[in-house]
Structure 1
């Protein structure tokens, strides 16, 4: 019975989030078209709604630890579900993403993404995608901020091992910016797929920045070590122990 009640609460919460996205997105769309501030305000308001509604609708609190960067940098985040997207974006003043190129044609969503400075990248061969990514970021230098990227490339469930891809290291090397790692345990409560959300406290943690100048392989190894070590600590803090 408790599971069924929580599932219904989760369903109502998920519906409310989509309604909030539609209402805020459409309501602020004219402002977003003429001002980047309008686009960012729309995105921030959706993030605030999620953090406000989750505790009383589904019993899920959220916490942001560490020091979010307020300078131009790469933010390399553990990615477990859409909740870490909301939390990381809401914590930095000028976040932007590398997004699938096809999303720029999506009504409303695509325009918001482009207006806040997201960089569209076509899926394809790895070398071509990386070059396009770097070129896109450099061309977007007029929109400074915190470039949020997912080093593993997709959502990875807690306890599942997946390689860290070279794209983040190439950006780090060629942009010459600090890289701020971010750990998370949000996937324990808000899964990659499905309706059900668990009660608890979901955490993202901004870690010590990695300053520019490291060799590519050394950087990638350090990034993985920092993110995975901290994420495992957050998982264990929440009562989850990865199988060996």
Structure 2
């Protein structure tokens, strides 16, 4: 398959997933407005549409490994592109995200984030953002579920090193919940920017949970080591060498 044909397929794929997003949002709106179950059904149905079309249009097959948790836990995940968001959310029964507040102004995504009680924070005010994050999470405890945080704070390209933010450690300490790390390789096939999508097996893997009770430094070191080592291994499965990135 030539580069030009794969790029054209990628363009058509990207066009149709964004074209279908408001259609799914409108179809499910009467149910979603009155029920979180309806909002989750919309987001999962749309994600499955994306997975299905990704397979036959650009050759990406989505695979979830490990055991997704069903109880009340903190999910600390590697974030490489829009694809890992959908894969993690779809694998969990009652998930919600910690996200930057600007996303709430995004059409469709922002409205559904509000319906799902996702926690919006201002990343530009670090200390205040962490305090607000903890307060908002505690206020949402009426619905047990899985709280997803991207510990590096943003999408990180494959092989690029980025610090793990202290907010994950603060939540781990103050919530007293187990933390389930999640590794991924999706950015090798579905980059954080651009049109081109590459064929292959996109994986998110739920790793062994970290029990509550560790001090913050030990927890953060354990989390980073597990996620980075497994993510590097998953990327190597696709023939990508993360150590070769300068």
- TM-score bracket relative to the smaller structure: over 0.9
Distance apart, 1:112 and its partner CA? 1.1
Whole-angstrom distance in 1 between the partners of 2:164 and 2:76: 11
Whole-angstrom distance in 1 between the partners of 2:228 and 2:123: 26
Whole-angstrom distance in 2 between the partners of 1:243 and 1:229: 11
1:114-166: CA deviations, max 9, x gaps?
21120121233211110011011011111221111100000111111111110
- What corresponds to 1:58 in structure 2? 58
Between 1:6-15 and 1:139-148, the stretch displaced more is 139-148
- What corresponds to 1:149 in structure 2? 149
Between 1:121-130 and 1:48-57, the stretch displaced more is 121-130
Counterpart of 1:183 in 2: which secondary structure? strand
- What corresponds to 1:96 in structure 2? 96
- Trace 1:22-41 onto structure 2 (pairs within 5 A): 22-41=22-41
Distance apart, 1:243 and its partner CA? 3.1
The reply to whether residue 221 of structure 1 matches residue 221 of structure 2 is yes
Whole-angstrom distance in 2 between the partners of 1:49 and 1:16: 10
- Trace 1:69-218 onto structure 2 (pairs within 5 A): 69-218=69-218
Distance apart, 1:107 and its partner CA? 4.4
Calculate the aligned-residue CA RMSD, in Å: 1.2
Aligned residues of 2:21 and 2:108 also touching (Cα < 8 A): no
Distance apart, 1:80 and its partner CA? 0.5
Whole-angstrom distance in 2 between the partners of 1:234 and 1:107: 33
Distance apart, 1:242 and its partner CA? 2.1
Counterpart of 2:141 in 1: which secondary structure? helix
Distance 1:128 1:23, change over 3 A: same
Instruction: Count the aligned residue pairs.
Output: 244
Aligned residues of 2:94 and 2:146 also touching (Cα < 8 A): yes
Whole-angstrom distance in 2 between the partners of 1:184 and 1:234: 7
Whole-angstrom distance in 2 between the partners of 1:2 and 1:184: 27
Whole-angstrom distance in 1 between the partners of 2:81 and 2:108: 22
- What corresponds to 1:43 in structure 2? 43
Stretches of structure 2 that go unaligned for 5 or more consecutive residues are none
Q: Normalising by structure 1, report the TM-score.
A: 0.97
Stretches of structure 1 that go unaligned for 5 or more consecutive residues are none
1:45-82: CA deviations, max 9, x gaps?
11111111111010111110000001110111100011
Whole-angstrom distance in 1 between the partners of 2:55 and 2:103: 30
Whole-angstrom distance in 2 between the partners of 1:111 and 1:150: 20
